[in-house]
Amino acid sequence: MKTHRKFATVIVVACLLHLPYVAFCKHKGDANKKEERVEIKYLVPEANIETVAKRLKLDPDHPTETRVICFYDTDALTLFTRTPKVILRSRYRAGTDQKTGDTTVKVRGGKVEGKGVKCEFDKVIGKDKMESCSLTDENQELDQIQTANKGSGVKRIFNHDQEELRKQANINLDWNLLVPFGPVEGVKIWKDLSAEGLDKVTVERWELPARDGKPKRVLFEVSTKVPVSQESQATEALSKALGITSAEKQEEETKTKIVMDHYAGDHSTKP
């Protein structure tokens, strides 16, 4: 009997000794799950793209995937030029037999909530971070996306929940006024690249064709996502990996703004 009691006492003490550790681990895990993340970005000037690509040991012929991407707004950029900005986007993978793509409604510069809504911060190196919340439908029919990219039926590629998210941004919208800005074909994406001090780096290369007196442009964006608590260290590590100095300039406008400006007025296909 005494032996059984001693054994039971040992078990109880062992459990008590481990409880603080278990509680700490659980708390730490919960904290990591709840902590918001920040996407740190840098849009490389065209003159520096080749140098940066070599620094990242990029294989130009073997991207992780190639996408077709399109944005939607009114001719007057009603959604993009307001505060908070509302960005409508579609994407699908090129060169595959997939029958679906994805569509996203993003509110940048404001906090919104809802089922499936994901919020994080966008941080352009050299500028203040900005909160961004989005809702993505990952199973949108490819045929409908391609039709919207030609200027017809844009509303059909965004679901009810995405429409509700847009309403939270307090904007009245006539969906019939929406036109495509793009599509941009052959957008190359490289994922999970390594750089000193960073686990995962993503690169996007966009080639905008010459049109209506506007020259061809190449956009080369490098980014990484980390918990907000690691923002400072990750920004420093990414800057070092890209060879950015304090005096070095990047593109003045964001990638999305450059794309939309490039395709502005190109809506002759809209019925």
pLDDT at position 131:
96
pLDDT at position 104:
98
Q: Quick check: 187 and 206 in contact, CB under 8 A?
A: yes
Tokens of 169: 């941004």
* Closest by Cα among 146, 129, 145 to 137: 145
Q: Tell me, what DSSP letter sits at residue 210? A: P
Q: CA angle 181-183-187, nearest 5°?
A: 125
* Closest by Cα among 8, 177, 7, 161 to 76: 177
pLDDT over 60 (residue 126): yes
User: 44 vs 252, which has greater pLDDT?
Assistant: 44
pLDDT over 90 (residue 207): yes
pLDDT at position 265:
81
Give domain limits for the chain. Answer: 36-263
User: What pLDDT digit, counting tens, does each position of 68-120 carry?
Assistant: 999 999 999 999 999 999 999 999 999 899 999 999 999 999 889 988 999 99
pLDDT over 90 (residue 55): yes
> Strands 85-93 and 65-73: what pairing?
antiparallel
Strands of the chain (E only): list them.
Answer: 37-44, 65-73, 85-93, 100-108, 118-124, 130-141, 179-195, 198-208, 217-227
* Closest by Cα among 201, 251, 227, 162 to 64: 201
pLDDT over 60 (residue 212): yes
Q: Quick check: 85 and 107 in contact, CB under 8 A?
A: yes
End-to-end Cα, the chain, rounded Å: 90
Architecture of domain 36-263: Beta Barrel (2.40)
